[in-house]
Amino acid sequence: MSTVAERRRPPALDVAVVGGGMVGAAAALALARAGFVTALLEARAPQPWSMADEVDLRVVGLAPSSVALLDKLGVWAAIRDARSGPYAHMHVWDGENGAAVSFDAADEGRDLLGHIVENNLVQWTLWQALEASGVRRLCPAEVRGFEAREDRVALELADGESLSARLVVAADGAASPLREMAGIATRGRDYAQRAVVAHVATERAHEQTAWQRFLPTGPLALLPLADGRSSVVWSLPEHEALRVLALGDAAFMQELGVASDFRLGRIASVTKRAAFPLKLQLAETYQSERLVLLGDAAHAVHPLAGQGVNLGLRDVAELCDVLAAAREAGRDIASPHVLRRYARRRRSADTLDARGFDVLARIYAWQSPPLVAARGLGVRLLDRLVPLKRRIAQHAAGL
C-alpha cells in the first residue's frame, strides 16, 4: 500500500524498460525521444562493437519497417555505414521437388528487400545513442520483484535499491523473469531443432540475394553479408545439429555444399560454428497491471522467415504511438484501457505471423510423396500469382 507522501510525489520515471537487447534498447530510445522520462535496466552491458572484430555469428535480417524505425531514432546511418549486407532478391526453393519462388525488390518499386546486420552492431549502436538521449541506464541491474500500485509500479532491485515508474516494459527475453513475476502464461511448442550458424565464403558471389532451401530436416538459409561472405542459418533436428557441430571444417563445408545444392558453388572457408534451440512461444496476454511485454518476452518464432526482431521492433513502434496518443489525450499512459489497445493490436499481428511461420514449417516437413507433389504445385502457383507475391512481400516488409 502506498503512503500519502508517495501518492503526492510523482513517480521518478514515466517508463522503466527492463532488458537492453536490440528491442529493449530501441524501446528505451524511442520513448525518450518521444519525451517520456525513461530508464533502461540491464544485467550485462553489450560487448563494444569494432570494425576490426570478426563478424558476429548472430545476424538479423532488418525489414524496411525496422530500418525506418532505426532511421527515425537517428541510428540507422551509423549501422548501415559500419557493416550491413543489403539484399535486393530472395530465392526460396524446395529440396524435395525443386519448386521455387523468387522475390525481387524492383517488383515492389524498392531498391532493397532488407539488410543483414550483426545483432551486436545494432545493440551497441543503440546503446551509444541512449547516453545522449537522456535515458537513465542502470547496468548491471536485476529486478527481483515489483508491485503495481495506484499510480505507479515499485521495482525492487537485486542490489537493494528501488525505483518507481508509471509503466514497466518487459523486454527481458524469451525466458522473461518479469513475465513470470506477472503470472503471464505462454503457449507454443518446442521444435526439437537447433539453428546451426556460421559464416562461409563461397565459390560464387551471393548476388545480394537471400537464398533459402527447404529440406525435410528443416530450412537452410544463406544470407548475404557486407564482406561478400554468407551467413548460414541451418535448422536441424537436435541430434543432427550436434553431429554437424562436431564435424571438421572440410566435412562441414562438404555437407553444407550438398545441403545448399551448391547454389553458390563450392564452400571455400567457414568460421567457427554455434547453435541455438528453436521454439514457438506466445504470451497469453501482452499486458498486466502497469506492465507490457514486447519482443521475445511476448513472442518467440521460428527463424525460417527471419522476422523475430522485426516483430519486436514493430512492437516498439506501436507502443510509442499508443503511449504518445494517451499522453496527448491527457490519460494515464499505463491505464488498462491504454495498455489493452497496444496489447490487442500487437498480439493479434504477432500471433498471425507466428502461426503462419509454424504452418509453413509443418508444410515443409511433409515427406509423403502426394503431399510433397501438392506442396510443389502450390509453390509454383504462388510464383506466378504476382498480386499475392506482392502482398506477401509487403507484409514481410512491414508496409
186 DSSP assignment: E
| CA nearest to 361, candidates 279, 298, 281 | 279
Which of 280, 227, 273 lies closest to 252 in space, CA to CA? 273
CB 165 within 8 A of CB 152: yes
Ordered structural domains, the chain, with CATH:
4-397 (3.50.50.60)
Q: What is the pLDDT of residue 393?
A: 67
- Contact indicator for 206, 224 with CB cutoff of 8 Å: yes
| pLDDT attached to residue 4 | 41
Residue 3: pLDDT band (50, 70, 90) is very low
Cis peptide leading into residue 140 (ω within 30°): yes
Report the SS3 class of residue 276.
strand
Q: How far apart are CA 352 and CA 278, in angstroms?
A: 18
Tell me, rounded to whole angstroms, the distance of Cα 394 from its chain centroid. Answer: 18
Which is it for strands 84-87 and 291-293: parallel, antiparallel or unpaired? unpaired
Query: Residue 68: helix, strand or coil by DSSP?
Result: helix
Whether residue 192 has pLDDT greater than 50 = yes
pLDDT band at 354 (very low <50, low <70, confident <90, very high): confident
pLDDT single digits (tens) 113-144 = 999 999 999 999 999 999 889 999 999 999 99
- Please count the helices (runs of H) and the strands (runs of E) in the chain: 12, 20
Distance CA 341, CA 286 (A): 10
Query: If 0-12 CB within 10 Å is exposed, 13-18 middle and 19+ buried, where does residue 339 land?
Result: buried
Give 21-32 pLDDT, tens digit per residue. 999 999 999 999
Is the pLDDT assigned to residue 12 strictly greater than 90?
no
* pLDDT for 395: 66
> Alpha carbon 310 to chain centroid distance?
5
Is the pLDDT assigned to residue 149 strictly greater than 70? Answer: yes
- Which residue blocks in the chain are alpha helix, DSSP H? 4-8, 22-33, 64-72, 76-83, 119-133, 177-181, 238-246, 249-259, 308-328, 336-364, 369-384, 386-397
> Cell digits for 144?
527481483
Residue 242 to residue 196: CA distance in whole angstroms: 9
Look-up of cell digits 518467440 = 300
Please count the other Cβ atoms lying within 10 Å of the Cβ belonging to residue 22: 30
Note the maximum CA span of the chain.
72
Could you report the per-residue pLDDT of 168-185, keeping only the tens digit for each?
999 999 999 999 999 999
H or E segment and range at residue 230: strand 230-237
Q: Is 205 left (phi over 0), alpha (psi -120 to 50) or beta?
A: beta
CA–CA dist 298, 109 (Å, integer):
33
Whole-angstrom Cα distance, residue 119 to residue 376? 34
The 10 Å Cβ neighbour count of residue 4 is 7
